[in-house]
Structure 1
Amino acid sequence: MVSALLLKTWMINIGNEIIENGAKVAIKQAVPDLKLFETSGYSYHLVYSKFRYSLSSSLLNKLGFQREVDERWYRNLISSVYLIHNESIDFAVFPGCILDKFTLPRYYPILLKLMSKGIPIILLGAGGHDYTKTTVDYVSKILKKLKPLALITRDSVAYEYYSQISEIKYVYNGIDCGFFINDWYQPPQADKKFIVLAFDKASKVPSHVLDRIRSIDSDVTVIFTTHRPFNYIYYTIPADVFARLPIAISRFLLARRELLKSDRNLLNKETVFISDNVKDYLFLYSNAVEVHSDRVHAVVSSLAYGTKAWLYYNTPRVLLFENVGATINENLIIVNKKVLTKKKKELITFLRDIIEDNFK
């Protein structure tokens, strides 16, 4: 029996769970009898962020000095990857938005350890937050060192930049793992009509979106939600003003850097939905009349279930919609179900061929 290790990132964003659970389905559909294990890179994300966004680093960056993170930043960390016997795992799968200077350096020590153990790595449905020259050069350098067995991209730009790396044995221009999420979970049906608004990048829902909703049947409930459910815990902790001040300052600085823009008034909305369970979100997206969001994977999962969805966020990540033949008309993303089904089957076939050629 073939065994694989799924490399999960960190549960601070519901979108990550959508990607990773979609990846599970893709792997299992490729090899139904495959034994799948999981591990998280959360501790590496936590400690790297401590160094990367420390007060001293932030001040130096503000003054124009680029402070590099100490290469030994992870010296006191250990992952289950360090302890796993190399003969118990045939290959590892690393899915999602990983080809950039945010995720890759955080996960690099784990990927390096897998390489040293002789465990091949498959990058599945991979893409990046951006494709600037600095990012492409950095990612290319890391991929050449890691020599992954396969790179399956989720957009054509990632494929164009990284398919030429000779150290990668298999390269394929595939689709985002989130489009498999409807194969992972089929939620129950709802007993009422509702529209979902999931906005995190903007401090409030755009006025033209609200205008559209007002023109729809008044019997439709409007539900406000967030893909950052854990951010709001800070608003509920009883504490004096001195305890809240550092949190408020941190949130302000993060928002200024486009890293965090949550609606401070979300909890005061009339109909609010927040959960730490991805299946609750999938229930909303599969049953909604419409979904309006600035979160890419709120839209991806909605489309996977056949729900009409609008995306209000200008990011290179929207390129992933092109790979499923989607059209964009004034923020409305339209996907042809037949094309999507065909693309999913093609990715499964490619993944199956890799596994059968190397591990069976």
Structure 2
Amino acid sequence: MRILLLRTWLTNIGNGFIDKGAKALLEQAAPDSTIIEVSGYPNISAERKAKGEIGNISNVLGVPQIRNGSPDIQDRMVNIADFVDADVAVLPGCILYEFALDAYHDLLKRLNRRNIPIIFLGAGGGNYEAGTQRYVRKVIDSLHSPAIITRDQTAYDCYSSEFEHSFSGIDCAFYISDWYEPPTSTNDFVISAFDRAEETNFTTELPVIRPHHNPFMKPHEGAVKNLIWGQKNQEYFESENIFMSDTLEDYLFLYANTDVTYSDRIHSCVPTLAYGNKAMFDFKTPRAKLFDQILEEDITEGPVRLPEQVLQDKKEKQINQVKDILREVVG
């Protein structure tokens, strides 16, 4: 079986944890398969260009975006997925909303025309507002996708009826510890990963390391976006023990070795939990519903740890669901 894994884009380091976690999941569900990873960065680049800089700012401000730059650029942008033969395509992550589906929709339709079934894996939405739900259902209807495994119950409740096969599962990044086992640190430390909100007040005697999850864009963007992000970026660069890298493994080293992670980034907390360490999430977002799928304690109230057996049981159940879906969809 040839599985086309449609990655998103590493402008957000957490997306990489989702993509590699999805790969680890698929390797266990279909060990004899060939997994072909293809980036969606060409798609998001084209979409951003089509909407122009104003389109990017409107996404930050939460207002509707319009294509006011180069509206035909998606037609001219090459994606390697168009050149690869596959039995099935898998799109993982937080893609059930306009920002992600706008970028991927044209490619997904082309895969449809090639009779390559599309599975949404560990899927969730940026929000679940009525307008977003209408948009997502319209896209799903246009694709005739056979299966979805969601990462939170709200996504399942909203969209499972649109698919022949559906399962309420967990986020793909919980499999990241199956993809990479970091070495043990010689130093003890705590992580404070806040690149959107104010840092949580906490007390520790350990050194505090501060990773940034947008190393390729914020905090390096130009004057237009810095009208909004500039002050926050400046505060970050004035902090102690700041960290950014161009490899997932460096971030995973930190999350696998931290005593506690405090963060406004979901995918700082998820890998921390996956490696058996404590995490606290401090940010208001509907995306945080994914924690309800796997934690009994409230991760927003204080540091929590995910019991190893609970995680293993959830992961095995989802692996079996993926096996069943692949058997039904591909044969």
Q: TM-score surpassing 0.5?
A: yes
The whole-number CA distance in structure 1 between the counterparts of 2:214 and 2:64 is 31
Matched, 1:83 2:69: no
Matched, 1:251 2:222: no
- Residue number in structure 2 paired with 1:118: 115
The whole-number CA distance in structure 1 between the counterparts of 2:192 and 2:64 is 40
- Residue number in structure 2 paired with 1:228: 214
- Residue number in structure 2 paired with 1:303: 273
1:113-262 → structure 2 map (5 Å cutoff): 113-165=110-162, 168-202=163-197, 204-206=198-200, 208=201, 212-213=202-203, 216-217=204-205, 220-231=206-217, 234=220, 247-253=222-228, 255=229, 262=232
The whole-number CA distance in structure 1 between the counterparts of 2:177 and 2:56 is 42
Preserved CA contact (<8 Å) 1:311 1:333:
no
Preserved CA contact (<8 Å) 1:326 1:333:
no
Preserved CA contact (<8 Å) 2:87 2:116:
yes
The structure-2 alpha-carbon separation of the partners of 1:66 and 1:294, relative to structure 1 and needing over 3 Å to count, comes to closer
Local SS of the residue matching 1:319: helix
* CA-to-aligned-CA distance 1:52-92 (integer Å, 9 cap, x gap): 24449979xx9x997456864412112122222xxx31101
- Residue number in structure 2 paired with 1:100: 97
* CA-to-aligned-CA distance 1:190-247 (integer Å, 9 cap, x gap): 1111011111112x424x2xxx22xx33xx2111111111236738xxxxxxxxxxx2
- Residue number in structure 1 paired with 2:255: 285
* CA-to-aligned-CA distance 1:4-25 (integer Å, 9 cap, x gap): 0100111101100000000001
The structure-2 alpha-carbon separation of the partners of 1:289 and 1:350, relative to structure 1 and needing over 3 Å to count, comes to same
Unaligned 5+ segments in structure 1 are 236-246
Local SS of the residue matching 2:210: strand
Shift of 1:274: 1.3
Preserved CA contact (<8 Å) 2:5 2:36:
yes
1:266-277 → structure 2 map (5 Å cutoff): 266-277=236-247
Local SS of the residue matching 2:226: helix
Shift of 1:43: 1.7
Shift of 1:265: 3.3
The whole-number CA distance in structure 1 between the counterparts of 2:64 and 2:96 is 25
Preserved CA contact (<8 Å) 1:328 1:334:
no
Shift of 1:359: 2.8
The whole-number CA distance in structure 2 between the counterparts of 1:312 and 1:57 is 25
Preserved CA contact (<8 Å) 2:152 2:289:
yes
The structure-2 alpha-carbon separation of the partners of 1:192 and 1:275, relative to structure 1 and needing over 3 Å to count, comes to same
The whole-number CA distance in structure 2 between the counterparts of 1:158 and 1:198 is 26
The structure-2 alpha-carbon separation of the partners of 1:106 and 1:178, relative to structure 1 and needing over 3 Å to count, comes to same
Shift of 1:326: 3.6
Preserved CA contact (<8 Å) 1:57 1:67:
no
The alignment covers a number of residue pairs equal to 326
Shift of 1:31: 1.0
The whole-number CA distance in structure 1 between the counterparts of 2:126 and 2:64 is 23
Local SS of the residue matching 2:75: coil
Shift of 1:181: 0.5
Further displaced range: 142-151 or 324-333: 324-333
Local SS of the residue matching 1:355: helix
Shift of 1:145: 0.8
The whole-number CA distance in structure 2 between the counterparts of 1:132 and 1:358 is 30
Unaligned 5+ segments in structure 2 are none
Shift of 1:41: 1.4
The structure-2 alpha-carbon separation of the partners of 1:98 and 1:327, relative to structure 1 and needing over 3 Å to count, comes to same
Shift of 1:357: 3.1
- Residue number in structure 2 paired with 1:242: none
Shift of 1:262: 4.5
Percent identity, please.
36
Question: Given residue 269 of structure 1, which amino acid in structure 2 is its aligned partner?
Answer: S
Who wins on radius of gyration, i.e. which is larger? 1
1:306-345 → structure 2 map (5 Å cutoff): 306-328=276-298, 330-345=301-316
Local SS of the residue matching 1:17: helix
Local SS of the residue matching 1:164: helix
CA RMSD, aligned part only?
2.4
The whole-number CA distance in structure 2 between the counterparts of 1:191 and 1:275 is 20
The structure-2 alpha-carbon separation of the partners of 1:55 and 1:357, relative to structure 1 and needing over 3 Å to count, comes to closer
